[in-house]
Chains A and B, each alone.
Chain A
Amino acid sequence: MKVSYYPGCTLKSNAKNFEDSTLCALRELGVDVQELRRWNCCGTVYSLATDDLMRHLASIRNLIRVKEAGADSVMTLCAMCYNTLKRVNEKVKADPDSLQKIHKFMDEEKVAYRGDVKVRHLLELLREDIKFEAIGKKVKKPLHNLKVASYYGCLLVRPKEIGLDDMENPTVLDDLMAVLGAEPVDFPYKTECCGAYQTVDKPETVADRTYSILTSARSRGAEVVSVSCPLCAFNLDHRQKETAKKHSDFKKVPIVYFTQLLAIAMGCGEEALRLDLHYVDPKPLLRQKGLI
């Protein structure tokens, strides 16, 4: 199976652990991942103002790169890239006038985009193409006795038109964790916003959200929280420093990408996990469970 892949900015730096673990796991699952050539920033956030077409250009350019690669679909890992690329795609599909205006600003592009690329998240590839049952059969190192709370955040599930699961009660990550042998832990804050980009100018707000989200997961018995967005990962992991300063009863929890757990289960070595990029070190827990 060949898949076109759009990484996005943070997958190449702070979230290298997300990328490396994914690439290793997909190799084990027999997927040939082809990174797009000349990809650019997706825009990070979908522009909500009706007249702000200019900010959709970045996404459209990436979709043109997919066409140039001869592919008809593109896979993303980052929840923000997924949301932005998919929403822009849906917008231009439903609104040909806007697409025509956008084209006028991209007259140097050789391909005229027509909304015919499918934007998919890795989770959709795993669930629909490879299928969880098949993944379960390929598990080399089951995640036995590991209690994992899956945090979905906002942009994988909202708005409804582009969400990849139920927007109020998603279970796709929990279902995946279950086939990997882990014990999924449900918790009420799994789709509650972490504060996102407020982390730049209001880190204390993010610290409060991190406190609520992680305290809730821990109270349900979670030993580790898995995420699918590099910004959520930063807020829930690195902002634990500020959270601990602000809330004296706060207990730290390791945060991992769901793909790091997938990679462990698929038998990938520690070098594919990049555990050095975490603020709260997940190694003691993973060692204790015999996973690394």
Chain B
Amino acid sequence: MRTNISRKKIRDDFVKKIEELSGQKLLACYQCGKCSAGCPAVGEMDILPNQVIRYAQLGFKEELLESKAIWVCASCYTCNVRCPKGIKIAEVMEAVRQVLLRKRRDHVEVSKLSAEDKASVPAIALISNFRKFTS
């Protein structure tokens, strides 16, 4: 696979936005991979948590915004508490989701859930799901 890294991408506003929304310094990450090693959701992710950070450092905007990984993360904080550099990976995931949600690109369409779907799960599941996956 050919990957193009450019100064333009790295200096893109997207990188600044992710750093601002997550409150994290992306360049602190030295790619040890501990976040991905402990993540219970990696089996369902297309790019792993450490790759999410790498892509964010390098300004790979499209790759991140189109990734499945950001919606598979359930903010369980296992990565956050194990990162030797103290980077909050879950916050970076949230920042990428927020970039989409703030443009009304909802991940879950509430109107498409049937009454039966909604009645089959408790309030706590619905409210937390809509808070995380809708704008």
Residues of A within 8 A of B (CB): 8-10, 13-15, 41, 43-45, 47-52, 55, 78, 80, 154, 158-160, 167-168, 191-193, 195-202, 205, 208-209, 230-231, 234
Given the known A-B contacts A51-B21, A193-B41, A201-B107, are A234 and B121 also in contact in the complex, defined by CB atoms under 8 Å?
yes
Contact call B74/A196, Cβ cutoff below 8 A = yes
In Å, the complex CA distance between A108 and B29 comes to 44
How far does the Cβ of B123 sit from chain A's closest Cβ, in whole Å? 4
How far does the Cβ of A275 sit from chain B's closest Cβ, in whole Å? 17
List 27 A–B pairs whose Cβ atoms lie within 8 Å, in order of A's numbering.
Answer: A9-B124, A10-B123, A14-B122, A14-B123, A41-B127, A43-B131, A45-B75, A45-B128, A48-B22, A48-B90, A48-B91, A49-B21, A50-B21, A55-B131, A80-B128, A158-B78, A159-B77, A193-B40, A193-B74, A196-B76, A196-B125, A197-B132, A198-B72, A200-B126, A201-B129, A201-B133, A230-B124
Contact call A154/B94, Cβ cutoff below 8 A = no
Question: B33 an interface residue at 8 Å Cβ cutoff?
Answer: no
Given the known A-B contacts A15-B122, A48-B75, are A197 and B81 also in contact in the complex, defined by CB atoms under 8 Å?
no
**By DSSP majority rule, is chain A's interface helix, strand, loop, or mixed?**
loop
Total contacting residues, chain B, CB less than 8 A: 38
Chain B residues in 8 Å Cβ range of A199: 121, 125, 129
Given the known A-B contacts A199-B121, A200-B121, are A193 and B23 also in contact in the complex, defined by CB atoms under 8 Å?
no
Query: Which of B81, B107, B108, B133 is close to A160, meaning CB atoms less than 8 Å apart?
Result: B81
Given the known A-B contacts A154-B76, A159-B80, A205-B72, are A49 and B127 also in contact in the complex, defined by CB atoms under 8 Å?
no
Nearest 8 pairs of A and B residues by beta carbon: A193-B76, A197-B129, A48-B94, A14-B122, A158-B77, A197-B128, A200-B129, A44-B128
Contact call A201/B108, Cβ cutoff below 8 A = yes
Chain A residues in 8 Å Cβ range of B78: 154, 158, 191-193
Contact call B22/A231, Cβ cutoff below 8 A = no
Question: B70 an interface residue at 8 Å Cβ cutoff?
Answer: no
Within 8 A of A (CB), among B42-83: 43-44, 72, 74-78, 80-81
Looking across the interface, which residue of chain A has its beta carbon closest to that of B107?
A: A201
Contact call B123/A13, Cβ cutoff below 8 A = yes
Query: Which of A10, A50, A80 is close to B22, meaning CB atoms less than 8 Å apart?
Result: A50
Within 8 A of A (CB), among B74-100: 74-78, 80-81, 88, 90-91, 94-95, 98
In Å, the complex CA distance between A282 and B75 comes to 30
Looking across the interface, which residue of chain B has its beta carbon closest to that of A84?
A: B128
Looking across the interface, which residue of chain B has its beta carbon closest to that of A43?
A: B131
How far does the Cβ of A91 sit from chain B's closest Cβ, in whole Å? 11
Given contacts A193-B74, A197-B129, 7 further A-B contacts (CB under 8 A): A43-B131, A48-B91, A48-B94, A49-B21, A160-B81, A199-B121, A199-B125
Question: B20 an interface residue at 8 Å Cβ cutoff?
Answer: yes
Given the known A-B contacts A193-B41, A197-B132, A201-B133, are A49 and B98 also in contact in the complex, defined by CB atoms under 8 Å?
yes
Which residue of B21, B41, B75 has the most chain A CB atoms within 10 A of its CB atom?
B75
In Å, the complex CA distance between A205 and B41 comes to 9
In Å, the complex CA distance between A201 and B44 comes to 14
Contact call B40/A209, Cβ cutoff below 8 A = yes
Chain B residues in 8 Å Cβ range of A15: 122
Which residue of B20, B21, B72, B132 has the most chain A CB atoms within 10 A of its CB atom?
B132
In Å, the complex CA distance between A41 and B122 comes to 14
How far does the Cβ of B80 sit from chain A's closest Cβ, in whole Å? 6
Chain B residues in 8 Å Cβ range of A209: 40
Contact call B124/A10, Cβ cutoff below 8 A = yes
Chain B residues in 8 Å Cβ range of A48: 22, 75, 88, 90-91, 94-95
